[in-house]
Amino acid sequence: MRLFLPLLLALLLIAGGTYYQFYYPPMVKKHATEHALQHFADAVATKDRAKIGEALQQWLTDTAHIRLEIGFFSLAQPEGGKPATEDFDKPTFITFIDNILYSLSDYDYRAQLHDFSLSADGKIASVAFASQAWGDGMSYYGGTGINMRFSSDSACEGEVAFDGEKPRLDKVTCKMQLRSVPKPGEAEKLQNPETLREFLR
């Protein structure tokens, strides 16, 4: 009997932990939100713009509002310029992302959920997540094309709405720090005075 009680307690703790992680409704919806973020990252990894657009169609509600607050860092502006703010609805954001991807030769995206707080009725959750992205593309300065590496770190806060257990991003504000630097071997193109002047402008 003395051995049975500790064993029973251990089994109860394991069962309770399993329920909490995999069956407790708030945790189920948190995992679904993490899966949705990963699904979008997986779509980006395909480099297929149609699949990326389809993933955004699934991830965003029809009434989604997206705000980007973008700070810029470059060799020309090491302290960063004044942040630019852009607001989007679902269609304009999907078009915006597609236009950016069209101009890049390669890119990647990763995101991680940091905070998740489900409402009492289970229909909405406040979320916070961070993302990292990079892309390679051409920029022109004084008529000279320079291969650039663009990268960003973003901190996002918003709300996810649930249709059953399926999460969809309804509104979000992302504060982004965008960096751009010439790729290795490209900086020598800046020796041209006109190119350098345009680059530093």
- Stated pTM of the model: 0.81
Q: Residue 158 contacts by C-beta under 8 Å, 6 or more apart in sequence?
A: 126, 127, 169, 170, 171, 172, 173
Confidence tier at 26 by pLDDT (50, 70, 90): confident
pLDDT by residue (tens digit) across 29-45? Answer: 999 999 999 999 999 99
For residues 108 and 16, the model is more confident at: 108
Q: Does the pLDDT at position 14 exceed 70?
A: no
Q: Look up the CATH number of the domain holding residue 192.
A: 3.10.450.50
162-176 average pLDDT score? 93
Q: What is the pLDDT of residue 18?
A: 46
Which amino acid is present at 106? D
Is pLDDT of 186 > 80? no
For 44, the token pair is 């980006």
- Work out how many domains the chain is built from and give that number: 1
SS (H, E, C) the chain: CCCHHHHHHHHHHHHHHHHHHHCCHHHHHHHHHHHHHHHHHHHHHCCCHHHHHHHHHHHEEEEEEEEEEEEEEECCCCCCCCCEEEEEEHHHHHHHHHHHHHCEEEEEEEEEEEEEEECCCCCEEEEEEEEEEEEEEEEEECCEEEEEEEEEEEEEEEEEEEECCEEEEEEEEEEEEEEEEECCCCHHHHHCHHHHHHHHC
Handedness of CA 194, 195, 200, 201 (dihedral sign): positive
Provide the domain limits for residue 35: 4-200
The whole-number pLDDT of residue 11 equals 46
Strand partners, 119: none
pLDDT confidence of residue 153: 96
